[in-house]
């Protein structure tokens, strides 16, 4: 397993947000973390990335403990984070935003490093706008830029928070297809997403959260079959 999370507890002040989260992923998986607003999905990603410091539990990435490490140390080990807020530099061009994300390539056999030209080959929309300021991009283009900037760090695992939030349906579909293509290229992805029906088209495994705990784990077929679980924890 590339990622093993065991009994993870995280707090905001005295608020006990994560209450014993367990999940695991194999190399190359694309998993989706589902659940209603406020149940701890984003906090889970931030706890894995060290942006929230867990108070209890273990996060093993390639058998290395992440709990207690700083975000930059975790990033150097091979994790990338795509925040919901995107956080691009609006005053910089697309190319300049990508240059900021450059890190040394991974030392692995048969691994093709991400370069600016490879990004532009994979994200033709960004190539067309390489000299445009980040603030002049559409919401979907900004989301693509955020993902592409993360790839410039050559991560083995990407944590993606709400990639389709606020996007039109066709644009959201394009973003999800982009993530599927990245996963097929060998990058492991853990994604938080509200729209489970859209996620069913690309994710291989699913976790559902409620009140800081994982209440369901399964593949797409198991999620479809679990109508009572969906009605209780996902549907309005």
CB 208 within 8 A of CB 195: no
Give the pLDDT score at 84: 83
Give the pLDDT score at 105: 67
pLDDT digits (tens, 9 = 90+) for 62-99: 999 999 999 999 999 999 999 888 888 999 999 999 99
Q: What are the strands, taking DSSP E only, across 35-132?
A: 56-61, 64-65, 79-82
CATH code for the domain in which residue 146 is found: 3.40.50.300
Residue numbers of the domain that contains 107: 3-233
pLDDT digits (tens, 9 = 90+) for 172-225: 888 888 888 888 888 899 999 888 888 888 888 999 999 999 999 999 999 999
> Based on the structure, what is the number of domains in the chain?
1
Instruction: Calculate the CA 174 to chain-centre distance.
Output: 16
With the CA atoms of 149, 151, 153 and 154 taken in that order, what torsion angle do they form, in degrees rounded to the nearest 10? -170
CB 10 within 8 A of CB 54: yes
């Amino acid at each position: 397993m590339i990622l093993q999370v065991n009994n993870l507890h995280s707090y905001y002040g005295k608020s006990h947000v994560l209450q014993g989260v367990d999940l695991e992923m194999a190399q190359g998986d694309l998993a989706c973390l589902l659940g209603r607003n406020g149940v701890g999905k984003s906090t889970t990603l931030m706890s894995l990335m060290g942006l929230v410091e867990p108070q209890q539990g273990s996060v093993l990435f390639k058998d290395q403990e992440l709990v207690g490490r700083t975000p930059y140390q975790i990033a150097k080990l091979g994790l990338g984070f795509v925040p919901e807020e995107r956080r691009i530099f609006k005053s910089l061009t697309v190319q300049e935003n990508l240059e900021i994300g450059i890190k040394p390539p991974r030392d692995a056999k048969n691994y093709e490093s991400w370069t600016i030209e490879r990004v532009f080959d994979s994200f033709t929309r960004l190539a067309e706008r390489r000299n445009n300021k980040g603030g002049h991009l559409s919401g979907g283009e900004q989301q693509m830029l955020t993902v592409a900037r993360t790839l410039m760090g050559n991560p083995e695992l990407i944590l993606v928070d709400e990639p389709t939030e606020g996007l039109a349906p066709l644009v959201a579909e394009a973003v999800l297809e982009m993530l599927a293509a990245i996963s097929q290229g060998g990058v492991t992805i853990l994604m938080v997403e509200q729209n489970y029906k859209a996620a069913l088209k690309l994710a291989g495994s699913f976790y559902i959260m409620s009140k800081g705990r994982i209440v369901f784990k399964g593949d797409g077929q198991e999620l479809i079959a679990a109508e009572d679980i969906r009605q209780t924890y996902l549907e309005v």
